[in-house]
């Protein structure tokens, strides 16, 4: 993959979420018209799938790089996994923001919030909670928390931190680490190779002044996400965890 972020992890993805306050229309004609319009610009997105609470349009996942769009009652979400470039990922997100105000009758007043997420997956074997704890907390005052006895093992280390980026607190950033090791795996000592997910989420609270403002918000959020990913996520989360994974192997 061509993105510099993608070169640092197993999988890199860029997701978008538009949350609204009122239920979205769910009739066949509206949904199919939107999906057909998206497929016109992204022909590979031709797999229409229905879940219990979601309708989705996806491209094939065969090559590890794919795009998806999902509609729920109160949100529109889309993503690009392992894009060739950030611009390639942004193309889908911008298209969705251009289409949904008219195809799904989303009013600027209806916008609850917008989110842009950068996700970094690092495959790891062994106790992922201990990997994260050792990478981020071992040399801090929190490191003493594991000194609870000779049999103490870390079974949950999934930090999340939120920070306001402006005085109004309506532009926010969240830094999160998600692990997948179960207590059963810790007990048995048998671990599977699964990803540790490092997530950066930029959230802009609504409402917005106009449909065009959603696109302006997106461009601002993309710039903010790139800056924080370079300045904070890569050096302070991704690199230490990657090194801890190597040390545990």
Number of domains present in the structure of the chain: 1
Residue 1 maps to a domain: no
> What does the DSSP 8-state code read for residue 24?
P
Helix (H) or strand (E) holding 201: strand 194-205
> What does the DSSP 8-state code read for residue 25?
P
Closest C-alpha to 114, from 141, 127, 96: 96
Residue 31: count of CB within 10 angstroms of its CB:
18
Residue 110 maps to a domain: yes
User: How far is the C-alpha of 85 from the C-alpha of 2, rounded, in Å?
Assistant: 6
Question: Per-residue confidence of the chain (249 residues) as pLDDT tens digits?
Answer: 346 899 999 999 999 999 999 999 989 999 999 999 999 999 999 999 999 899 999 999 888 899 999 999 999 999 999 999 999 999 999 999 999 999 999 999 999 999 999 999 999 989 999 999 999 998 888 888 888 888 888 999 999 999 999 999 999 999 999 999 999 999 998 999 999 999 999 999 999 999 999 999 999 999 999 999 999 999 999 999 999 999 886
Residue 117 maps to a domain: yes
Residue 61 lies in domain: 6-248
User: How far is the C-alpha of 82 from the C-alpha of 119, rounded, in Å?
Assistant: 10
Closest C-alpha to 203, from 163, 237, 246: 163
């Amino acid at each position: 993959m061509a993105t510099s972020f993608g070169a640092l992890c197993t999988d890199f993805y860029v997701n978008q979420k538009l949350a609204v306050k009122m239920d979205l229309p769910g009739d066949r004609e509206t949904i199919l018209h939107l999906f057909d319009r998206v497929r016109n610009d992204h022909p590979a997105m031709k797999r229409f799938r229905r879940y219990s609470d979601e309708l989705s349009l996806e491209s094939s996942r065969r090559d590890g790089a794919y795009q998806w769009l999902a509609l729920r009652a109160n949100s529109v979400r889309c993503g690009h996994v392992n894009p060739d470039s950030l611009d390639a990922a942004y193309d889908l997100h911008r298209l969705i923001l251009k289409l949904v105000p008219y195809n799904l009758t989303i009013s600027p007043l209806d916008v609850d919030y917008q989110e842009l997420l950068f996700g970094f997956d690092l495959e790891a074997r062994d106790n992922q909670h201990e990997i994260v704890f050792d990478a981020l907390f071992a040399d801090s005052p929190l490191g003493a928390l594991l000194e609870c006895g000779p049999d103490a093992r870390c079974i949950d280390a999934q930090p999340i931190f939120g920070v306001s980026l402006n005085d109004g607190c309506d532009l926010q950033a969240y830094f999160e680490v998600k692990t997948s090791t179960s207590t059963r795996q810790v007990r048995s000592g048998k671990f599977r190779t699964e990803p540790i997910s490092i997530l950066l989420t930029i959230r802009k609270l609504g409402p917005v002044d106009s449909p065009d403002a959603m696109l302006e918000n997106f461009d601002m959020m993309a710039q903010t996400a790139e800056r924080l990913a370079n300045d904070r996520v890569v050096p302070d989360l991704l690199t230490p965890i990657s090194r801890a994974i190597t040390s545990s192997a």
